[in-house]
Amino acid sequence: MEQEYSVQLTFREQWMDERLMFNDYNGKMRYLTLTETSRVWMPDLFFSNEKEGHFHNIIMPNVYIRIFPNGLVLYSIRISLTLSCPMNLKLYPLDRQTCSLRMVSYGWTTDDLVFLWKEGDPVQVVKNLHLPRFTLEKFLTDYCNSKTNTGEYSCLKVDLLFKREFSYYLIQIYVPCCMLVIVSWVSFWLDQSAVPARVSLGVTTLLTMATQTSGINASLPPVSYTKAIDVWTGVCLTFVFGALLEFALVNYASRSDIHRDDMNKKDLERTVSMDCNDYEDGPNSFNMVRSNSTKPLMRPELMMSRDKMSQIIHQPPPMDQNSCWKSWMSKFPTRSKRIDVISRILFPMVFAMFNMSYWSTYLFREGEDEEK
């Protein structure tokens, strides 16, 4: 994107030159036609924001001059121009751009030459105008006289208001980025022992997302501010990168779970061996202890009835959110599995919240620009 636009137009201007008055022979001669512009005086008009332009000479030069009996001169020419159009790309590709066409007198000041728009439809646009990525919403005519050290010069301008067609970018950028982010979540549903599959999936989606981001930025001019498309691609790239980091965390937690299971197994074996050694001392030790304890541990008046105790035992504990969460997480005994399960819920939820904030923010700002 070179921040320019091309236009092909038929330019017409009229002025009065009394030196060219002639006899029409009672209306028999309506006007004279010339094809050589050097034979008459012409205003020294030029396009101030022109970058490149050329005339059309096939099959004959597309230019003519009509001179009417009262000295009125009509000049018409067909030209193609490439004009500069500074753009504000903060809302790209949800943006609207205003491009101008400026026509200025080069040497004659307003004391000698003044440009005026023709009254009644001064600018005409062809019907069914088709542009590949923009829609011409409207155009405005105005004056833009400029003052310099040598005087004030007359100027006319046309502001063309373009709206960018979003459907192309929705299909080519936004939908593929969403698909890449969703594909990166597939690793959460793979077994934690499938290391090659999860690593290859994360790296492939990350490289694809980075390639698409660089391709988007290659077609845009380098600017100092952040564009709407930069926010989208940056967040999508962060989600894909986060999915890859999630597997690294799962792999580390899986190795920690294996180490913890080994330690628990060794502790259990050590406890069983100690119980066996205590049993070898004989059963009389237990009987001796029981026979010596003749006093009850609690007084009878403080002891509860058997029915009341059974009611307390069988009464279901109150359920709250924390207990529901703990009971659900208890279905997944290992930390690595818990991380995968939490990621399956957390990543889509955060991405949905980002979509809501992104579209509400930029569509609202687009509506504000349209009102202005």
- pLDDT tens, residue by residue, 183-196: 999 999 988 888 88
Confidence (pLDDT) at 143: 94
The CATH number of domain 167-263+325-372 is 1.10.1610.10:
no
What letter represents residue 87's amino acid? Answer: M
Quick one: pLDDT band at residue 234, thresholds 50, 70, 90? very high
Sole residue written with tokens 């018409």: 76
Radius of gyration of the chain (CA): 41
Confidence (pLDDT) at 217: 87
Quick one: pLDDT band at residue 290, thresholds 50, 70, 90? very low
3-class DSSP state of 319: coil
Residue 54, burial from CB neighbour count under 10 angstroms (0-12, 13-18, 19+): exposed
Confidence (pLDDT) at 309: 46
Report whether pLDDT(352) > 50: yes
Quick one: pLDDT band at residue 364, thresholds 50, 70, 90? confident
Confidence (pLDDT) at 13: 94
Report whether pLDDT(162) > 70: yes
Report whether pLDDT(19) > 70: yes
Confidence (pLDDT) at 363: 86
Mean pLDDT in residue range 222-239: 93
Quick one: pLDDT band at residue 28, thresholds 50, 70, 90? confident
Mean pLDDT in residue range 316-329: 56
Mean pLDDT in residue range 136-143: 92
pLDDT tens per residue across span 33-89: 887 888 889 999 999 999 999 999 888 889 999 999 999 999 999 999 999 999 999
What letter represents residue 168's amino acid? Answer: Y
3-class DSSP state of 204: helix
Lowest-confidence pick of 3-17, 150-164, 256-270: 256-270
Q: Give ranges for CATH 2.70.170.10 in the chain.
A: 4-164
By the 8 A CB rule, do 343 and 187 touch?
Answer: no
Name which residue leads in pLDDT, 59 or 283: 59
Confidence (pLDDT) at 97: 92
Quick one: pLDDT band at residue 2, thresholds 50, 70, 90? confident
Mean pLDDT in residue range 324-345: 74
By the 8 A CB rule, do 5 and 87 touch?
Answer: no
What H or E segment, with its residue span, contains residue 137?
Answer: strand 134-143
What H or E segment, with its residue span, contains residue 242?
Answer: helix 228-279
Report whether pLDDT(289) > 80: no
**What span, in angstroms and rounded, lies between the C-alpha atoms of 257 and 312?**
37
Mean pLDDT in residue range 136-162: 93
CB contact set of 328 (below 8 Å; sequence gap of 6+):
none
Residue 69, burial from CB neighbour count under 10 angstroms (0-12, 13-18, 19+): middle
Residue 372, burial from CB neighbour count under 10 angstroms (0-12, 13-18, 19+): exposed
Confidence (pLDDT) at 121: 87
**What span, in angstroms and rounded, lies between the C-alpha atoms of 25 and 12?**
27
Q: Give ranges for CATH 1.20.58.390 in the chain.
A: 167-263+325-372
Percent share of the chain, pLDDT over 70:
77
From the list 17, 33, 98, the residue with the least C-alpha distance to 65 is: 33
- Residue 316 DSSP code: P
Quick one: pLDDT band at residue 321, thresholds 50, 70, 90? low
Percent share of the chain, pLDDT over 90:
51
Read off the tokens for 168: 């192309």
Q: Are strands 50-55 and 134-143 parallel, antiparallel or unpaired?
A: unpaired
Count of alpha carbons within 13 angstroms of residue 334, beta-carbon side: 18
Lowest-confidence pick of 22-31, 135-144, 324-333: 324-333
Mean pLDDT in residue range 192-202: 88
Q: Is the dihedral of CA 54, 60, 62, 67 positive or negative?
A: positive
CB contact set of 339 (below 8 Å; sequence gap of 6+):
246, 249, 250, 253
CB contact set of 168 (below 8 Å; sequence gap of 6+):
133
Quick one: pLDDT band at residue 268, thresholds 50, 70, 90? low
What H or E segment, with its residue span, contains residue 83?
Answer: strand 72-84
Q: At what angle do helices 195-218 and 228-279 cross, to 10 degrees?
A: 160
Confidence (pLDDT) at 302: 42
By the 8 A CB rule, do 141 and 122 touch?
Answer: yes
Architecture of domain 4-164: Distorted Sandwich (2.70)
Confidence (pLDDT) at 274: 58
Confidence (pLDDT) at 194: 85
Name which residue leads in pLDDT, 22 or 271: 22
By the 8 A CB rule, do 75 and 103 touch?
Answer: no
**What span, in angstroms and rounded, lies between the C-alpha atoms of 298 and 292?**
16
